Amino acid sequence: MSLTRFRAKGSDYRIQIHGDGTVVYDGYCQITIDGHCPFPDEVLGHRTSHISEEVVNSLFNQFKEVDFFSLARGYEVLTLCVTERKELSIAFDGHRKRVTDELATEAGMPDAVMLLERAVDSVTNSSQWIAGNATHGCG
């Protein structure tokens, strides 16, 4: 099993959770203004950590409870200025589902998807990487 959380614009990162509890974080900074990153505190690069299999199973059960596979592929509002794009996906036993979230609450996305996004960030302690320190800046 693999769960993936991707967030673009602002803090750009991807987090993958594997069935054995391995957590893989990749931080990116793609936005620069006058050669500088407007988000200097995010941690760039590749990091790994581990969570218990019980936590992974609990998170997997949350995906089942919201019937993740029945959700639409995307909840997007067409606008000239997209402030953030998020993706949440799950893969297991040959099945894969990805849900895209752009201004999702305005596009009718169920609150359960945002709760899943937060749950992934919470169990992986993504804040340790997203809100790093200036020594990991984009410069």
Q: Dump pLDDT digits (tens) for 38-68.
A: 555 556 778 899 999 999 999 999 999 999 9
Rounded Cα distance between 44 and 27, Å, is 4
State the pLDDT at residue 137. Answer: 42
**Count: domains in the chain:** 1
- pLDDT digits over 67-125, tens only? 999 988 887 766 555 556 788 889 888 889 988 877 655 667 888 888 898 899 899 99
State the pLDDT at residue 136. Answer: 39
24: in domain: yes
State the pLDDT at residue 63. Answer: 92
Would you state the structure tokens that stand for residue 80, as one six-digit string?
């000239």
Rounded Cα distance between 49 and 114, Å, is 23
CATH code of the domain containing 116? 3.30.1560.10
The residue range of the domain holding 80 is: 2-133
